[in-house]
Amino acid sequence: MACDLISFLREKGGAATTEEIAADLLKMPNAPLAVAESLVQSMCKDQAIKQTSPHVWEICGEPVKTTPANDEWVLLTTVPVSCPHWRSVQAILMAEMSGIECVERHIVIRSQGLTEQDWLHLLDLLDEKWVVIEGLGNQVNTLKSGLKNFAKSEPVIHSLAKSVKTLIADQPLRTSNDMAQLLKAECYEWPEPEKKLDQLIQNAQAFMDILNVNHPEQLMSLWVESKREFTFDRFNFDRDDVNAVPATPGIYLIKDARQNIIYVGKAKNLARRLMSYFLPGAQNSARIQAIHQQMADFEFESLGSELEALLSEWEMIQNYDPPINRQLRVHQRSHRQAERYERILFLPAKDPQDVQIYFLHPRGAFARCRYRDHRQMNRLANCVKSVFFTSLPVSDIDKTRCEISWSWLSETKSPVHSLDMRGITLEREALRLIKDHVKSFRSDTERVIQT
């Protein structure tokens, strides 16, 4: 039984509570805590297991791995999510992952149930890789039952849903969209297998982004941390306030008890970023430790794009000089010089009725304005003239803003709507093209929203 306990703890990432051991290993979910504690203690005699805190047991001298041997793993789900028997599985949707990126997809659909050849092929794909299943319904038990009929030993299968409930919030997760809503990710409505796999990949990526990990093996150390409950007692807010933050780009301000700003941060997804500060293992980061020691409250501002958040973050750091921020100096990077040319960027604005327009020139000239209709034409004309049709000296501040914009452009993976200004010699021609691009940008945005 002691060997079983060690195996159980290893599967749990190295640690488990008395209640978990009683319910999952001893099959005594209703045992009084004192009785369960006594039984676990008797199992630990002469074994490398210790009680590290009240009702938490860990393996001695076997630290949890935090760096995987390689970054390959497998993410999968079954259809339907609840099956009376493993022979009832009609589809396997699988993604071969490298870090948090999908490198190959496999979709097998059999209306009469998977064949023996399908299961053998699945085993071959799973060979010695970390396996993470979506974990809805009875998927974990169904997959284990199916695989052990063809494998020499029962594979270790990790549940994404269980990890999300343990490390993010213990809420019912009945569908992929339940998980997406909890992770502040996009919800899909399409029933097609390809879209269901897209949803699964996106949910896994969002989950790992929140926890700042790039392989499921790194989650194991967080499982150990999760046994130690995080408390909000010393803050002027609670978890509900954190969960209410929207999933938009923006900046956030960390404040101390005197309402002094001690840290400024930016995020492509504010909800995920702020959630990550209050999850198991967060205090393993020296920066977050320093923030928690002084933090009393926080504020945030939603913005239209990640670029707007980057620029606002830099400006706030210059204005407030927060003690925890590393003061940023933005340097030109020679490998990006070839990508730089006169151009105008069109991005979402904070107000969805507006379009945020950025004007960039390789010499460092920079301008920006929000455009809604003809009432902003004078401002628009001034930006075009100052950046592209004058040779006035450029301020260091604008050079830095321009550098931040170039850096963001070279690193973003999303397509950016832009206007190439090379070869445009008249201001009125530039203004006409800008208005055309605004219409095109709005049309593209509306199409995405409707889709």
Kindly state whether residues 77 and 169 are assigned to the same domain: yes
Where does the pLDDT of residue 417 fall: very low under 50, low under 70, confident under 90, or very high at 90 and above? very high
- Mean pLDDT over residues 13-41, rounded? 76
In a domain, 328, yes or no: no
Kindly state whether residues 441 and 372 are assigned to the same domain: yes
Last residue of a domain, one of 36, 59, 82: 59
Last residue of a domain, one of 269, 286, 320: 320
Kindly state whether residues 299 and 393 are assigned to the same domain: no
- 306: domain CATH number is 3.40.1440.10
Kindly state whether residues 141 and 249 are assigned to the same domain: no
In a domain, 325, yes or no: no
How high is the pLDDT of residue 124? 86
- 26: domain CATH number is 1.10.10
Kindly state whether residues 106 and 195 are assigned to the same domain: yes
In a domain, 177, yes or no: yes
Where does the pLDDT of residue 403 fall: very low under 50, low under 70, confident under 90, or very high at 90 and above? very high
Structure token digits, residue 107: 């979709």
Q: Which residues share a beta bridge with 417?
A: 346
Q: Which of 69-73, 92-96, 213-217, 293-297 has the lowest mean pLDDT?
A: 69-73
- The CB-based long-range contact list for 328-331 (8 Å cut-off, 24+ gap) reads 330/400, 330/403, 330/404, 330/407, 331/403
Kindly state whether residues 116 and 170 are assigned to the same domain: yes
Kindly state whether residues 346 and 275 are assigned to the same domain: no
Last residue of a domain, one of 267, 296, 320: 320
Where does the pLDDT of residue 105 fall: very low under 50, low under 70, confident under 90, or very high at 90 and above? very high
How high is the pLDDT of residue 328? 45
How high is the pLDDT of residue 215? 85
Q: Which of 5-14, 124-133, 251-260, 375-384 has the lowest mean pLDDT?
A: 5-14
Where does the pLDDT of residue 94 fall: very low under 50, low under 70, confident under 90, or very high at 90 and above? very high
Where does the pLDDT of residue 451 fall: very low under 50, low under 70, confident under 90, or very high at 90 and above? very low
For tokens 């198991």, name the residue.
280
Where does the pLDDT of residue 73 fall: very low under 50, low under 70, confident under 90, or very high at 90 and above? very high
The Cα–Cα gap between 432 and 8 comes to: 68
Where does the pLDDT of residue 289 fall: very low under 50, low under 70, confident under 90, or very high at 90 and above? confident
How high is the pLDDT of residue 47? 59
Using omega within 30 degrees of 0 as the cis cutoff, is the peptide bond preceding 80 cis? yes
Kindly state whether residues 77 and 52 are assigned to the same domain: no
For tokens 């998980």, name the residue.
179
In a domain, 92, yes or no: yes
Mean pLDDT, the chain, whole residue set: 84
- Mean pLDDT over residues 412-426, rounded? 91
275: containing domain: 239-320
Kindly state whether residues 160 and 299 are assigned to the same domain: no
How high is the pLDDT of residue 234? 87
Where does the pLDDT of residue 316 fall: very low under 50, low under 70, confident under 90, or very high at 90 and above? very high
Residue 195 in this model has a pLDDT that exceeds 80? yes
Where does the pLDDT of residue 297 fall: very low under 50, low under 70, confident under 90, or very high at 90 and above? very high
Residue 230 in this model has a pLDDT that exceeds 80? no
49-53/56-59 β-pairing: antiparallel
How high is the pLDDT of residue 52? 66
Kindly state whether residues 382 and 409 are assigned to the same domain: yes
In a domain, 372, yes or no: yes
Closest CA to 163 of 215, 122, 126: 215
Q: Which of 61-70, 180-189, 302-311, 379-388 has the lowest mean pLDDT?
A: 61-70
The residue that leads in pLDDT, 58 or 359, is: 359
In a domain, 64, yes or no: no
Q: Are 222 and 279 in contact (CB under 8 A)?
A: yes
Q: Which residues share a beta bridge with 104?
A: 96
Most confident of 86-90, 165-169, 208-212: 86-90
Distances (CA, A) of 133 to 46, 226, 291: 35, 20, 35
Where does the pLDDT of residue 139 fall: very low under 50, low under 70, confident under 90, or very high at 90 and above? very high
Residue 108 in this model has a pLDDT that exceeds 70? yes
Kindly state whether residues 351 and 418 are assigned to the same domain: yes
List CB contacts of 321: < 8 A, sequence separation 6 or more.
Answer: 327
Where does the pLDDT of residue 51 fall: very low under 50, low under 70, confident under 90, or very high at 90 and above? confident
In a domain, 17, yes or no: yes
- Mean pLDDT over residues 379-385, rounded? 95
Number of domains in the chain: 4
Of the CA atoms within 13 Å of residue 64, those in its CB half-sphere come to 21
Q: Which residues share a beta bridge with 349?
A: none
0.75 exceeded by the pTM? no
- 153: domain CATH number is 3.30.420.10
Residue 426 in this model has a pLDDT that exceeds 70? yes
How high is the pLDDT of residue 61? 54
Q: Are 179 and 203 in contact (CB under 8 A)?
A: yes
In a domain, 231, yes or no: no
Structure token digits, residue 12: 């749990």
Kindly state whether residues 40 and 174 are assigned to the same domain: no
pLDDT digits (tens, 9 = 90+) for 126-137: 877 889 999 999
Q: Are 8 and 16 in contact (CB under 8 A)?
A: yes
Closest CA to 156 of 169, 147, 164: 147
Residue type (1 letter), 20: E
Q: How much of the chain, in percent, has pLDDT values that exceed 90?
A: 49
The residue that leads in pLDDT, 356 or 165, is: 356
